[in-house]
A and B are shown apart, each in its own frame.
Chain A
Amino acid sequence: MSERSPNGMTQAIAGTNGRASLFSLERRTVGYVSGPLLVAGGAEGVGYNEIVDVVAPNGETRRGQVLEVEGDKMVVQVLGGTRGLDRPATKVRSRGEVATMAVGSDLVGRILDGSGRPTDGGPPLRPAAYRDVNGAPLNPYARAHPSDFIETGISAIDGLNTLVRGQKLPIFSGFGLPAAELAARIAEGASVVGEGEGDFVVVFAAMGVTHREAAFFRRRFAGSAALERSVLFLNLADDPSVERILTPRAALTAAEYLAWEEGRDVLVILSDITNYAEALREVSAAREEIPGRRGYPGYMYTDLASLFERAGRVRGRPGSVTQLMILSMPDDDITHPIPDLTGYITEGQIVLSRELDRRGIDPPIDVLPSLSRLMNAGIGAGKTREDHRQVADQLYASFARGRELRRLVSIVGEGALSDEDRRQLAFADDFEEKFVGQGVNRRSIEDTLETAWRLLGRFPPDELKRIKPETLERRQTMEEGL
């Protein structure tokens, strides 16, 4: 791992270990170019997965990554795009190392491009170190199981799909749904309750977002006060798509340094995973690989996992990496390979609903397909409240039943409903409007749970099957005492 970039401080992604000078003199000629790839000769001494400089005929240098070496040939994906490289004068120069990223607390407050170069016109970076952007897998034995409640202020999350410090939780959205707004609200409102309190550092990585979205994120994360605790990596829709493969890795490398070496709680927001996956598919197609489902590469699960598993906590160290990813489901289809593989890796998902959005429910979170797998570890006495699990189970049971009845009633009418059924039906509407649709107001966990109890108040106690008799009794005594 190199400590200093020879190319000056402004170059955040470097690739050198001192051997650079040895190899940089060698020049390799490009054979042919296909999509984002080029094949070059003279691969002796070039390592798999290393970073190379691709020198265009006009002298301009782009970064490339070696996807394969065979004999004296290498396949290079050109992170800066291959436009203008299809001429014999194009050269490839080895740097002798895998991609690294400049890291350090100096990055906080900066806006960088998708490869980690400052674009904010600020001073050159003074990195504390350079780190391999691919990271190294956390040893499961060295992890600490995430269990600290993060209060986001959003009832559908805090109450029913609780986020904890070190979790990886995507927002499954659809084009045009307010996922960015939700992510921004979480980032602004999030606080760890209990030990290790304090603000999160937000590391935001945009992959292929439009200028309009980028402007939104700049406003929310890089406004005057927010910027002091944010780092922005921006790969825009019109930036080279292959660069997107590097962007989240650069961002996570920066985040890991802040978390594991400086003990900060880092919230990494990746947007949009769908654009990232498209870039993967583009490279795979150019290599003529045998595709998996719907043309996405067979290794996409492993590739996505190599990003998402970089969230977590480490035993005996302060600091954490929490990941929120925005993912636009193509055709709103949760079984599409991108949300599907993501859901298999992440620790749950928050699912947005077009129907709720149309009805003006804000935030439009559909709680039934949503899930937080780490919720149990983060709630209960001493963390949130003792009754939290039971209240959540009851809300889910009543709402699921209400939704089922809603469907039934739409077919056969309300005629045959029992009184209990009618209560459940009415509850479902109330739940969506009042509990989920809280609007922009932040709710404390206390508020969230009390709102829930108010809504459950319409049921006679013996219909609350998920709540234990002791809890009901305690509740009753409390309410009588008021």
Chain B
Amino acid sequence: MTQTDVRSRPDRGARIDGEIWRVSGPVVVATGLTDARLYNVVYVGEARLPGEVIRLDGERATIQVYEDTSGLRVGEPVEDTGEALTVELGPGLLGGIFDGTQRPLPTIAAVGDDPYGAPTIGRGLQVPSLDRERRWTFVPSVSAGDKVGPGDVLGIVAEPTAISHKVLVPHGVSGVVEETREGSFTVEEPVAVVGGEPVAMLRRWPVREPRPVARRLDPEEPLVTGQRILDTLFPVARGGTATIPGGFGTGKTVLEQSLAKFSDADVVVYIGCGERGNELTEVLEEFPELTDPKTGASLMGRTVLIANTSNMPVAAREASIYTGIAIAEYFRDQGLGVALMADSTSRWGEALREVSGRLEEMPAEEGYPAYLSTRLAEFYERAGSVVCLGADEREGSVTVVGAVSPAGGDFSEPITQNTLRLAGTFWALDTSLARARHFPAIAWGTSYTLYELDGWFDREVADGWSDGRAWALDLLQKEGALLDIVQLLGADALAPAQRAILATGRLMREDFLQQSAFDEIDAYCALPKQRHMLRVVRAAHEALVATVGRGAASEAGAAVPALREVSRMKYWPDEEAEGRASDLIERIRKEMEEL
């Protein structure tokens, strides 16, 4: 018994099937599907390949097919399911890896009689997204006689992770709890009866529809990432949106993966959209070995992976983004902080473009359909910090971080430009920084955040945080302007105080902004350590300015041995950062005073 969160559509009576009239790549046109509705799921051909109706035009229904269409012939049957594309929601999502239409990839690998498992994905396999046999321990949190409505917590399922999974009253169901059951159940078995309706743990939800909330909140807290340049200079809010555009090899994926590992979200949904298979394999191999910095539990236990790699069917790539965000909303509705990583939204846009091209739609810029910006907006607007449905007024959030892969690394292309209008945080990756191996290759001159989070940092981490941030941004800006002069006239043209800025600017870039994702210690930097590192850079600058003020050469100041130690700050253990920073500041001051 499957609970549909949205009321099922009325029965249409007798099913009228159509037949294939045209096949071109992932797009099939069928005739005779007279009753089909837009976005209905259909099965195409004798192989019963799943697809979705994306255009209706009199006699003809246009279908995007989620699997390889090779071999489909004109005249083969098309069957309308009468339902929209949905995801299955419930226990068993966490730690899982699914394809773009939520087929579980481990189950697919186990299909067939190959002793090693099937290495490739076969066609036309239909397997349920969530395991129908597995049993989960359900503990009710309501009792018979309670009055409940949509979003109220019916009970808790213990998953083998740090997260307790809340089973909520489905949308469209309310009334008096007539019965609850405690014990071990499959996702389809009823665990309660509400208002005469049996309720199980399994929910289904149409992926293209945002899940309802009580109300939206202004994002006020940062999603802490442990990445210095992000937290200190360009933080993203919980429930906010961030975009990472960058040419190939500039570090989008490494950054998305670092965020998936280290950000202080409760749940991470990671969508590999049209990118490399090996990058998901890497997550699958690595995450179970890592622990969540917040809970100490396995990182995989808080992660859901959605994989439509670049060699998987292109129409399912279009769907993968929605599959991912519907799952993210489901966890948000339980009162959790969810971070959704989409790598890369450009591949999703290109899937739209490919299908649109086959429909012979009138293209707008660079062949993309005119509705590209609307679709992007619909997606990013599903991020947010919200009060969930339910009497207890839980708060949850979905933070969206979307990578963008601009052609030729040129940010003037349509996906980057349309995304920029929507995202609250812009982390611009720069090819020349990446080539010089300055990572993360985030260009500090062009990146920005629109979220006002200074107050939170001053309150929660340290008074003076925002002052340090403003100082750092100012220093980098000044350094940039001076470097432009040096490029033209040489360093000789600069006054001593200006040279001091260049010296500190270099410390700032190399010893603070650069952060290796592959160093065991440096990969994650706690907020207090970020602050102490910045404190050292700032103190070094002030000492240097004082030194040149006394008439000493800034080169002599920049050469004191204590400054060499600044490059080792990254490897300080978090808990020693404060003490070591104070000692180092002392030494720097002393050595410079002695000049």
A residues lining the B interface (CB < 8 Å): 43-50, 67-72, 97-98, 134-146, 260, 289-293, 298-299, 301-302, 305-306, 309-310, 312, 314-317, 335-337, 340-341, 343-345, 347-349, 368-369, 371, 373-374, 376-377, 389, 393, 396-397, 400-401, 404, 408, 411-413, 415-416, 418, 462, 465, 468-469
Residue ID in chain A nearest B123 by CB atoms: A136
Tell me which residues from 536 to 584 in chain B have a Cβ below 8 Å from any Cβ of chain A. Answer: 555, 561, 564, 567-568, 571
Give the interface segment out of B111-119, B379-387, B474-482: B111-119
In the assembled complex, which residues on chain B have CB atoms less than 8 Å from the CB atom of A50? 70-71
In the assembled complex, which residues on chain B have CB atoms less than 8 Å from the CB atom of A462? 561, 564
Contacting pair A373 B490 (CB below 8 A): no
Query: Which of B73, B116, B117, B249 meets A371, CB within 8 Å?
Result: B249
Nearest Cβ on chain B to A36's Cβ, whole angstroms: 17
In the assembled complex, which residues on chain A have CB atoms less than 8 Å from the CB atom of B564? 462
* Nearest 9 interchain pairs by C-beta: A412-B490, A305-B310, A335-B408, A309-B311, A136-B120, A49-B70, A343-B248, A400-B436, A48-B23
- Bound Cα distance from A46 to B109, whole angstroms: 31
Nearest Cβ on chain B to A379's Cβ, whole angstroms: 11
Contacting pair B310 A302 (CB below 8 A): yes
Listed residue (A50, A70, A344) with the most chain B CB atoms within 10 angstroms of its CB: A344
Residue ID in chain A nearest B438 by CB atoms: A400
Contact flags (1/0) for B58-81 with A, using CB distance below 8 Å? 000000000011111111000000
Residue ID in chain B nearest A417 by CB atoms: B491
Query: Which of A136, A142, A293 meets B109, CB within 8 Å?
Result: A142
Nearest Cβ on chain A to B231's Cβ, whole angstroms: 23
Q: Would you call B261 an interface residue if the criterion is a C-beta within 8 Å of the partner chain's C-beta atoms? A: no
Nearest Cβ on chain A to B553's Cβ, whole angstroms: 11
Residue ID in chain B nearest A289 by CB atoms: B357
- Bound Cα distance from A293 to B281, whole angstroms: 31
Contacting pair A314 B74 (CB below 8 A): no
Contacting pair B510 A335 (CB below 8 A): no
In the assembled complex, which residues on chain A have CB atoms less than 8 Å from the CB atom of B23? 48, 68-70
Answer whether A309 and B510 are a contact pair too, CB < 8 Å, given A299-B25, A337-B407. no
Q: Would you call B460 an interface residue if the criterion is a C-beta within 8 Å of the partner chain's C-beta atoms? A: no
Answer whether A416 and B367 are a contact pair too, CB < 8 Å, given A43-B74, A70-B74, A309-B310. no
Contacting pair B354 A314 (CB below 8 A): no
Q: Would you call B293 an interface residue if the criterion is a C-beta within 8 Å of the partner chain's C-beta atoms? A: no
Contacting pair B70 A134 (CB below 8 A): yes
Contacting pair B311 A137 (CB below 8 A): yes
Residue ID in chain A nearest B431 by CB atoms: A369
Contacting pair A137 B312 (CB below 8 A): yes
Answer whether A48 and B407 are a contact pair too, CB < 8 Å, given A68-B24, A136-B120. no
Contacting pair A136 B121 (CB below 8 A): yes
Q: Would you call B307 an interface residue if the criterion is a C-beta within 8 Å of the partner chain's C-beta atoms? A: yes
In the assembled complex, which residues on chain A have CB atoms less than 8 Å from the CB atom of B510? 465
Q: Would you call B145 an interface residue if the criterion is a C-beta within 8 Å of the partner chain's C-beta atoms? A: no
In the assembled complex, which residues on chain B have CB atoms less than 8 Å from the CB atom of A411? 487-488, 490
Tell me which residues from 1 to 41 in chain B have a Cβ below 8 Å from any Cβ of chain A. Answer: 21-25, 29
- Bound Cα distance from A416 to B498, whole angstroms: 14
Q: Would you call B446 an interface residue if the criterion is a C-beta within 8 Å of the partner chain's C-beta atoms? A: no
Contacting pair A396 B488 (CB below 8 A): no
Contacting pair B353 A47 (CB below 8 A): no
Nearest Cβ on chain B to A456's Cβ, whole angstroms: 16
Residue ID in chain B nearest A99 by CB atoms: B70
Answer whether A465 and B567 are a contact pair too, CB < 8 Å, given A141-B105, A397-B437, A400-B436. yes
Query: Which of B248, B312, B367, B410 meets A344, CB within 8 Å?
Result: B248
Contacting pair B71 A368 (CB below 8 A): no
Contacting pair A142 B357 (CB below 8 A): no
In the assembled complex, which residues on chain A have CB atoms less than 8 Å from the CB atom of B354? 298-299, 302
Q: Would you call B278 an interface residue if the criterion is a C-beta within 8 Å of the partner chain's C-beta atoms? A: yes
Contacting pair B119 A142 (CB below 8 A): yes
Nearest Cβ on chain B to A459's Cβ, whole angstroms: 12
Contacting pair A49 B24 (CB below 8 A): no
Residue ID in chain B nearest A374 by CB atoms: B278
Residue ID in chain A nearest B566 by CB atoms: A465
In the assembled complex, which residues on chain A have CB atoms less than 8 Å from the CB atom of B486? 408, 412
Nearest Cβ on chain B to A383's Cβ, whole angstroms: 14
- 14 A-B residue contacts at CB 8 Å? A137-B277, A137-B309, A138-B277, A140-B105, A140-B272, A141-B106, A144-B281, A291-B367, A298-B353, A298-B357, A298-B367, A305-B274, A340-B407, A374-B278
Query: Which of B120, B249, B309 meets A373, CB within 8 Å?
Result: B249
Question: Can you add 20 more A-B contacts, CB < 8 Å, to A293-B407, A309-B309, A371-B249?
Answer: A48-B72, A49-B70, A70-B21, A138-B311, A142-B119, A290-B363, A298-B354, A299-B357, A301-B347, A302-B350, A305-B309, A309-B311, A312-B277, A335-B409, A335-B410, A340-B408, A344-B405, A368-B435, A368-B436, A408-B487
In the assembled complex, which residues on chain B have CB atoms less than 8 Å from the CB atom of A69? 22-23, 72-74
Contacting pair A146 B407 (CB below 8 A): no
Nearest Cβ on chain A to B435's Cβ, whole angstroms: 4
In the assembled complex, which residues on chain B have CB atoms less than 8 Å from the CB atom of A71? 21-22, 74
Nearest Cβ on chain B to A204's Cβ, whole angstroms: 22
Residue ID in chain A nearest B116 by CB atoms: A316
Contacting pair A301 B249 (CB below 8 A): no
- Bound Cα distance from A304 to B515, whole angstroms: 33
Q: Would you call B450 an interface residue if the criterion is a C-beta within 8 Å of the partner chain's C-beta atoms? A: no
Contacting pair B72 A469 (CB below 8 A): no
Q: Would you call B122 an interface residue if the criterion is a C-beta within 8 Å of the partner chain's C-beta atoms? A: yes
Q: Would you call B285 an interface residue if the criterion is a C-beta within 8 Å of the partner chain's C-beta atoms? A: yes
Q: Would you call B133 an interface residue if the criterion is a C-beta within 8 Å of the partner chain's C-beta atoms? A: no
Residue ID in chain A nearest B311 by CB atoms: A309
Nearest Cβ on chain B to A400's Cβ, whole angstroms: 4
Query: Which of A139, A310, A343 meets B105, CB within 8 Å?
Result: A139
Tell me which residues from 199 to 248 in chain B have a Cβ below 8 Å from any Cβ of chain A. Answer: 247-248
Contacting pair B366 A292 (CB below 8 A): yes
- Bound Cα distance from A447 to B281, whole angstroms: 33
Nearest Cβ on chain B to A323's Cβ, whole angstroms: 12
Query: Which of A45, A293, A309 meets B276, CB within 8 Å?
Result: A309
In the assembled complex, which residues on chain B have CB atoms less than 8 Å from the CB atom of A289? 357
Residue ID in chain A nearest B22 by CB atoms: A70
Contact flags (1/0) for B278-320 with A, using CB distance below 8 Å? 1011101100000000000000000000010111101000000
Contacting pair A317 B119 (CB below 8 A): yes
Nearest Cβ on chain B to A76's Cβ, whole angstroms: 13
- Bound Cα distance from A396 to B437, whole angstroms: 7
In the assembled complex, which residues on chain A have CB atoms less than 8 Å from the CB atom of B490? 408, 411-413, 415-416
Query: Which of B69, B120, B555 meets A138, CB within 8 Å?
Result: B120
Q: Would you call B467 an interface residue if the criterion is a C-beta within 8 Å of the partner chain's C-beta atoms? A: no
Q: Would you call B130 an interface residue if the criterion is a C-beta within 8 Å of the partner chain's C-beta atoms? A: no
Nearest Cβ on chain A to B79's Cβ, whole angstroms: 18
Query: Which of A47, A298, A469 meets B71, CB within 8 Å?
Result: A47
In the assembled complex, which residues on chain B have CB atoms less than 8 Å from the CB atom of A49? 69-71
Listed residue (A71, A305, A418) with the most chain B CB atoms within 10 angstroms of its CB: A305
Q: Would you call B594 an interface residue if the criterion is a C-beta within 8 Å of the partner chain's C-beta atoms? A: no
Contacting pair A290 B357 (CB below 8 A): yes
Answer whether A145 and B353 are a contact pair too, CB < 8 Å, given A49-B71, A140-B309, A469-B568. no
- Bound Cα distance from A386 to B175, whole angstroms: 65
In the assembled complex, which residues on chain B have CB atoms less than 8 Å from the CB atom of A369? 435
Answer whether A145 and B281 are a contact pair too, CB < 8 Å, given A298-B367, A400-B435. yes
Tell me which residues from 466 to 505 in chain B have a Cβ below 8 Å from any Cβ of chain A. Answer: 486-492
Contacting pair B73 A48 (CB below 8 A): yes
- Bound Cα distance from A309 to B437, whole angstroms: 26
Residue ID in chain A nearest B68 by CB atoms: A134
Q: Would you call B97 an interface residue if the criterion is a C-beta within 8 Å of the partner chain's C-beta atoms? A: yes
Q: Would you call B108 an interface residue if the criterion is a C-beta within 8 Å of the partner chain's C-beta atoms? A: yes
Contact flags (1/0) for B239-277 with A, using CB distance below 8 Å? 000000001110000000000000000000000101011
Answer whether A68 and B22 are a contact pair too, CB < 8 Å, given A49-B70, A142-B109, A291-B367. yes
Contacting pair A141 B285 (CB below 8 A): no
In the assembled complex, which residues on chain A have CB atoms less than 8 Å from the CB atom of B21? 70-71
Query: Which of A140, A337, A412 meets B281, CB within 8 Å?
Result: A140
In the assembled complex, which residues on chain B have CB atoms less than 8 Å from the CB atom of A98? 70-71
